[in-house]
Chains A and B, each alone.
Chain A
Amino acid sequence: MKHRVRAATLAAAALALAACSTTAPTASGGGGGDDVRTGNGVTADGITIGMITDLSGPFAAGAAVQVTETQAYWDQVNADGGICDRDVTVDVQDHGYDPQRAVTLYRSMAPDVVALQQVLGGPTSAAVLPLAEQDSVYVGGVGWAGSALAYENNQLPGASNAIQAANAIDYMVDELDVPEGSTVGVVYFTGDYGGDALAGAEHAAEERGLQILAQEITPATTDLSAQASALAQADVAGVVLAAAPTQLASLAGVLSSQGADVPIIGMNPTFNPSLLTTPAADALLANAYSMTSVSPYDNPDSPGVQAANELYASADPTGATGWEVPLAYVQAELLRQALEGACESGDLTPEGVVAAFRDGGEVDTEGVLPDGLDYSQVGQSPTTTVFVSKVSADAEAGLELLDQVSGPSAESFSYGG
């Protein structure tokens, strides 16, 4: 009996070890005949990357656009010869915006992928990032919250939320005639995204001699009447909004109806072209701006954005256009450059991919992200430059690009300092 128990224990332990084990790096290129060291997710003729996204939860529609664009991108890369003479396969999994499911999926995928191009969502990526960091697995596309910058394995697609918000304040003062000494509203979601934006706005307000009136909300707050009345009562000269499209339209509409026609600058995901069909359209066209890390959809001067849009149009001619298209493209582009860097340095392992994007080399996204990205410093935003757009009925996807800016407060902002 004792033997049987021991045997069973041993068998269970062996099974557990087998389940947890990861492929040890091999120096022979996974049998490929080249001199590249390989590890998880890389074989002699194939590379597997992962994408843990939300195909059944609240962000399903936008996520589907990103999946389509990502697949089209890697199909094209494969058609052009692949990476390191290997075809790239994308393993797309659905976490349904559930952090627990995201962790389970990560655990099951980690032994078979070399990198994760995206873990969509704040709470889901916050659950996966520390585990992936322990395993030295690259994670891209987790949004722009400053908290993600602390992870060496995370590559942020452009400026963080705090940098966007600091730039928003700078832009108000420098370009939109918001006078020194006035009060600016900050309406923000509870959590990483909104908290980071508030930190940037507070820093910039102090630098530029403005007062901040902060209003915290949740995604369930779809009627911002009370917040708008409070902002109008404080006679704010502008509003920084770190929320979602529903909140932008409500705030713009109510402020305008109260005669407070002040600029409202939304962060990355705050605008959606369908808002222009709502009763708030006039107020949005008059007062709303967007301060984004990634170029808007309508950017004829950027070859990268044009390539992204053409790729999407051929993959899904009737698909919804918007900022997700250039975003998904550039996430794939960042990972492609990291994979190629790893290949060139002869280390196509998960660790090699992280080292490749952190090596301080040049990152060129052909205008989808600002030039001069610097990923060599863990803990700081890779750039202080953002795109400023104005809501416009004439622009494709509703945003007309005005400028790229890097304000003095954005440049003086430092995480942890």
Chain B
Amino acid sequence: MSYFLEQVLNGLSYGLVLSLIAAGFAIVFTSTGVLNFAHGSVVLLGAYLVAVLHDTIGFWPAVLVGLAGAAVVGVAINALLVRNLADPNPGTAAILMLGVDIVLLTELTRRIGNQVLTLGAPWGASVVRLGDVTLPTGRVLAAGVTVVAFGALWYLFSRTDLGVGMRAAAADGPTASLMGIRLSRTAATGWALAGILAAVAGIFLTSFPAPGVAPTVALSAFAAIPAWVLGGFDSVPGAVVGGLLIGLTSALVTGYEAELEPFLGSGFGEVAPYVVMIVVLLVRPSGLLGSKEAVRV
């Protein structure tokens, strides 16, 4: 029983980190209609900044720089590239984002080299024991931080003028614009928020139980895509549910691989998230919590 509980808690805590990334995808999509395939590189960038700066300025200041850096890059991608697209349809923007991803990832890979850069996180490799269940401290912290982050997002979207403006712009841009909402401002805020969430996720994806920052972290971020899609392209709560579902599925299928292998073969843990996504989309084509009008490519 404690083994089952351990895998469930592992899965949920990992799922919450995935949901941070998935929420970033969803926020960019609702604020500017862009499928942001450069998001994985922004996740890596945030973690990279912390890894290279923690020695000189300390871990927590480095975290602030990492968060700010990822936000600035997000805003810059929007301001310099997305807003200047001659043909602003989601397909063109998605291909542009693939290009941005390649450029960012190549540069970060060049800088990281074949090293695994340590993040210098103060929680190191410590673990929390709850009875027979052992969880990495980093994962417990990740769960706490993610809950706080989503609480803050809920407050932003439902209680502040800026958040309400963002929701209005997402629902009907031209009308929101006529009502005096500056679309450029809501879009920039969306990209900045997505960047900050990506950097937070990057920090937890590269601290224990993962060893540090390596270029493959950008690939791990793609594990959040099924979470984003099955939650609904444009829904932040959907991203949270999607992340939890994917995290839980991966952990349980991997944890019980020996028992499942006779039916499903080996390595099913890697495929399971996509199977869940396809099943959900067959039942609910707009995702779990997505709005039916969402544009798809």
Contacts and interface: CB of A to CB of B under 8 A. Distances in A.
A274 B117 contact: yes
A161 to B, nearest CB: 17
B209 A220 contact: no
B291 to A, nearest CB: 30
Interface string B93-131: 000000000000010011011111110010011010000
Contact of A220 (B14, B207, B220): B220
- Taking residues whose C-beta sits less than 8 angstroms from the other chain, chain A's interface range is 35 or more
Contacts of B269: 216-217, 226
A60 interface: yes
Contacts of B178: none
B79 interface: no
A279 B125 contact: yes
B223 A220 contact: yes
Nearest to B3: A233
Nearest to A247: B211
B211 A226 contact: no
B109 A60 contact: yes
Given A61-B112, A219-B216, A258-B134, A227 B223 contact: no
Contacts of B6: 229
A246 to B, nearest CB: 5
Contacts of A277: 118, 212
Contacts of B113: 60-61, 320
A253 interface: yes
B216 A229 contact: no
- Among A56, A218, A219, A223: residue with most chain B CB under 10 A: A223
Contacts, number: 149
A44 interface: no
A244 B257 CA distance: 21
Contact of A257 (B136, B210, B212, B219): B136
A283 interface: yes
B200 to A, nearest CB: 16
Contacts of B215: 58
Given A61-B112, A322-B114, A229 B10 contact: yes
A274 B117 CA distance: 7
A280 B206 CA distance: 12
A249 B209 CA distance: 9
A216 B250 CA distance: 12
Interface in A202-225: 213-225
B125 A275 contact: no
B114 A272 contact: yes
Interface string B205-241: 1111111101111011011000000000000000000
A279 B251 contact: no
Contacts of A216: 266-267, 269-270
A277 B7 CA distance: 28
A286 interface: no
A224 B112 CA distance: 22
Contacts of A124: none
Contacts of A90: none
Contacts of B217: 222
B245 to A, nearest CB: 15
A298 to B, nearest CB: 18
- Among A221, A225, A234: residue with most chain B CB under 10 A: A225
A223 B10 CA distance: 10
B114 A62 contact: yes
B255 interface: yes
A228 B113 CA distance: 27
Given A218-B270, A320-B113, A250 B125 contact: no
A245 B267 contact: no
A186 to B, nearest CB: 10
Interface string A254-265: 101111000000
A256 B208 CA distance: 12
B254 interface: yes
B258 A220 contact: no
A57 B106 CA distance: 7
B136 A225 contact: yes
B11 interface: yes
Given A226-B10, A229-B6, A230-B258, A253 B211 contact: yes
B106 A56 contact: yes
A355 to B, nearest CB: 36
B208 A229 contact: no
A266 B109 CA distance: 24
B258 A213 contact: yes
A229 B132 CA distance: 12
Nearest to A246: B214
A227 B270 CA distance: 12
Contacts of A62: 114
A280 B119 CA distance: 12
A254 B106 contact: no
B208 A279 contact: yes
Interface string A49-82: 0000000111111100100000000000000000
11 contacts: A61-B110, A216-B267, A222-B210, A223-B209, A245-B214, A246-B211, A254-B136, A257-B134, A257-B209, A280-B211, A322-B114
Interface of B: 3, 6-7, 10-11, 14, 106, 109-110, 112-118, 121, 124-125, 127, 134, 136, 139, 205-212, 214-217, 219-220, 222-223, 250-251, 254-258, 266-267, 269-270
Q: Which 7 A/B pairs are nearest by Cβ-Cβ distance?
A: A216-B267, A249-B211, A61-B113, A279-B125, A61-B114, A220-B219, A226-B254
Given A246-B214, A250-B210, 6 more contacts: A62-B114, A220-B220, A229-B6, A257-B209, A274-B212, A277-B212
